[in-house]
Amino acid sequence: MALDAIRRIVHTLRESSRWTERHLGLSGAQLFVLQKLAESPAVSLNALAARTHTHQSSVSTVVTRLVERGLVRRVRSGMDRRSVELSLSPSGARLAARAPDVPQERLIHGLEQLPLARRRQLASALSELALALDGTDRTPAMFFEDRAVERRGKGRRDA
């Protein structure tokens, strides 16, 4: 049952990411970040990482790709010149508005519906499983964003 549940989750995320790549030219992770930025403009990278439930370094990689494509803007904060605020460009806002919801949002919502004790048990069990699989405690990339990196290295345009 556990493997079937994991397969269903991974399949849903993979299919969504493939659709997004084919129809919008973005990875699923990039669309997820765009949609989170559309919810509240002018946020810091740390706030965006919290919204995406992702490590800051992982979301930073995705944001960099979106900035390079002209979909996201980085601007020095008017209140604290040391910090940078992220916001959608007009083309990023249009893309986010016409894109379908991403399954990452449904996954987060589903997890939030679990009682806190069950979430902690699930997190612990999945952490143990991940460690058994790859033997490391490294920070993971956002869902399927690593595929975009691999393709770029093979001469294809990263989307």
Q: What is the pLDDT of residues 115-150, one digit of tens each?
A: 999 999 999 998 898 888 887 777 777 776 754 444
Q: Supply the DSSP string of the chain, one letter for each residue.
A: -HHHHHHHHHHHHHHHHHHHHHHHSS-HHHHHHHHHHHHSSSB-HHHHHHHHT--HHHHHHHHHHHHHTTSEEEEE-SS-TTSEEEEE-HHHHHHHHHSPPPHHHHHHHHHHHS-HHHHHHHHHHHHHHHHHHHS--PPPPSTTHHHHHHHHHTTSPP-
106: Cβ–Cβ under 8 A, 6 or more apart, which residues? none
- Quote the pTM value: 0.78
Q: Domain spans of the chain?
A: 2-100+139-153
- For domain 2-100+139-153, the question of CATH label 1.10.10.10 is answered with yes
Q: How many residues in total does the chain contain?
A: 159
Written as six digits, the tokens of 1 are 């049952």
Give the Cα separation of 98 and 108 in Å (integer): 21
Q: What is the pLDDT of residues 66-105, one digit of tens each?
A: 999 999 998 876 676 677 889 999 999 999 999 988 888 8
- The predicted pLDDT at position 140 comes to 76
Return the amino acid letter for 127: S
Return the amino acid letter for 1: M
